[in-house]
Structure 1
Amino acid sequence: MRAIWKGAIAFGLVNVPVKVYAATGDHDVSLHQVHNKDGGRIRYQRVCEIDGEVVPYSDIDKAYDDGERTVVLTKDDLAALPSEGSREIEVVEFVPSDQVDAIMLDKSYYLEPDSMSPKAYVLLRKTLEQTDRTAIVRFSLRQKTRLAALRVRGDALMLQTLLWADEVREASFPSLDQPVKISKKELELSASLVDSFSGDFEPDQFADEYQQELRTLIEAKLEKGDALDTSETFGEREEETGGEVIDLMDALRASVERSRAARGGNDEAASKDAPKRKKKPAKAS
């Protein structure tokens, strides 16, 4: 990984130098646009609307228009902002970790100690672990002031930028204002259905099916070109019809029965295969 930023966490008189790394990456297949008639690459250019000339990125500034006047902001203007030049990750407060609403989480970054001794870094990490607290911090990155949650992930400190309060929309739906009566039996069946699907979340058990299929399609096109028959590659696509309106209780019962049957089949297959597998120790209740 390559560090994208360097700075220091500051709380009180304690200073923790760190390097910042992007914690996530995009696995999507990279595609570009082409003309469907001849396959020519479609490219976008930055053209000045006054002289019609293509403008290199280095000659482009930013501007603000209030409807009547326009003010141009040069790179030097923006660099002169005090927060832009700051290399400090300022701790504002330490809050209970469960108070950070997941809807506010944005991008994630790993922090690496950037000093000869990682003692201050480890001390902060252990303190957050023992107190079950998350540090709310402020810092500037790429011409933006950021609010972020500083927390522990494994042996590393992680910085997760937060959306500002006015960037989070409230859910206000008139349909939810209507009184709804849920019977005890419906709630029991629904809970039973949830129980039948219960398990521990293991992220590596899930895959991006669309990207897998897209790679399969690309490989098939590379091999067969325009002669490719997608039905041979993926099978015939079933026509989707409008959802049938059925009774909620019937749907819950059918769902529970189908889930139990599926689990039963899996359990039976697992028992046949049991001699080949090493049994896991039972968890203490």
Structure 2
Amino acid sequence: MPRSIWKGAISFGLVTIPVKLYSATEEKDVSFRQVHPKDGGRIKYKRVCEKCGEEVPYGEIAKGYELPDGRMVILEKEDFDQLPLTTTKSVEVVQFVGEDEVDPTYFAKTYFMEAEGPGTKPYVLLRDALIKTGRCAVVKVALRSREALALIRPVDGVLRMHTMLWPDELRDGAFAAPPADVTVSDAEVTMAQSFIEALAGDFDPSQFHDAYREAVEEVVQSKLTGVEVAAPEEEAEEAEVVDLVAALRASVEAAKKRREEGAKQAV
């Protein structure tokens, strides 16, 4: 059972729902240590004050807010505890929206919400009401020393909360748009649609895996056992194709072939 990272309550009109938050995700990236290659010793860093040169223990490090003129304001734990926020221990519902109205680019992190004590019945009430109306709750909440927008939605009987970025934290991506004078023909679009249909299917995340992490772990085992890793087969280089329709037609055939081979292996 994971540990809850936050306790508070959802303010649903005049109804209060005590809840606990649990992180819904965990990173499983490959982790490396910085070491001295001569003897394998780990490299350690010292926290040194730039003014007096003293090494400062982690427990004695404070948070400083630097003003534009260079002045530094030191903030203590008590300052954060006294922040004038109504959302420090509550999840305040501010709006109900359709799930498709929120751009996924806004999502930052996902949490499971668990009802606590007497909160079970109002939790179920909110969950079922969201399901019946087909809407999600936009809320404000303070987590990890900052206030955030979040979206609460029912998934598999559980309320999930997705913290969101603020609008001014999203960059303008207009620079990445292709020039307006670049166009494609109907034939090219039709062939692209055929390729999309050839790879269309229901999303099943269990069918995918992290090949990079597996390859690194295989190399690590090779180092330990002294058994060399088999070199991957080199794929034949394909000639550059200028004709988009021809390239997509070949892609469709290759996709169909992969799907047929996958179906045979499944049997």
Corresponding residue number in structure 2 for 1:41: 42
The Cα of 1:266 is off from its aligned counterpart by 4.6
**Higher mean C-alpha displacement, 176-185 vs 152-161:** 176-185
Corresponding residue number in structure 2 for 1:277: none
Distance 2:103 2:213 in 1: 30
Say yes or no: does 1:212 pair with 2:214: yes
Structure 1 residues 22 and 236 mapped into 2: Cα distance closer, same or farther (>3 Å)? closer
CA contact (8 A) 1:78 1:84 kept: no
Contiguous gaps of at least 5 residues in structure 1: 274-285
Identity %: 43
Distance 1:96 1:85 in 2: 23
Corresponding residue number in structure 1 for 2:57: 56
Structure 1 residues 99 and 233 mapped into 2: Cα distance closer, same or farther (>3 Å)? same
**Higher mean C-alpha displacement, 62-71 vs 1-10:** 62-71
CA contact (8 A) 2:19 2:114 kept: yes
Match of 1:173 among 167, 172, 175: 175
The Cα of 1:120 is off from its aligned counterpart by 0.4
Corresponding residue number in structure 2 for 1:148: 150
Match of 1:260 among 237, 256, 260: 256
Structure 1 residues 144 and 243 mapped into 2: Cα distance closer, same or farther (>3 Å)? farther
Aligned-residue RMSD, C-alpha: 2.4
Q: Which amino acid aligns with 2:248?
A: L
Contiguous gaps of at least 5 residues in structure 2: none
The Cα of 1:86 is off from its aligned counterpart by 2.5
Structure 1 residues 34 and 270 mapped into 2: Cα distance closer, same or farther (>3 Å)? closer
CA contact (8 A) 2:18 2:118 kept: no
**Higher mean C-alpha displacement, 234-243 vs 200-209:** 234-243
Distance 1:187 1:74 in 2: 59
* Residues 210-229 of structure 1 deviation map (CA, whole Å, 9 limit, x = unaligned): 111111111221222xxx6x
The Cα of 1:185 is off from its aligned counterpart by 1.4
* Residues 152-197 of structure 1 deviation map (CA, whole Å, 9 limit, x = unaligned): 1111111100010011112213762332332221111111111111
CA contact (8 A) 1:19 1:113 kept: yes
Structure 1 residues 157 and 200 mapped into 2: Cα distance closer, same or farther (>3 Å)? same
Please give the residue correspondences for 1:242-257 in structure 2 after superposition, counting only pairs within 5 Å: 244-257=240-253
Distance 2:23 2:166 in 1: 20
* Residues 229-278 of structure 1 deviation map (CA, whole Å, 9 limit, x = unaligned): xxx403157499798353212211211222233334455x379x4xxxxx
Structure 1 residues 223 and 137 mapped into 2: Cα distance closer, same or farther (>3 Å)? same
SS across alignment from 1:160: strand
Distance 1:239 1:256 in 2: 19
Tell me the TM-score normalised to structure 2 length. Answer: 0.90
Corresponding residue number in structure 2 for 1:197: 199
Tell me the TM-score normalised to structure 1 length. Answer: 0.85
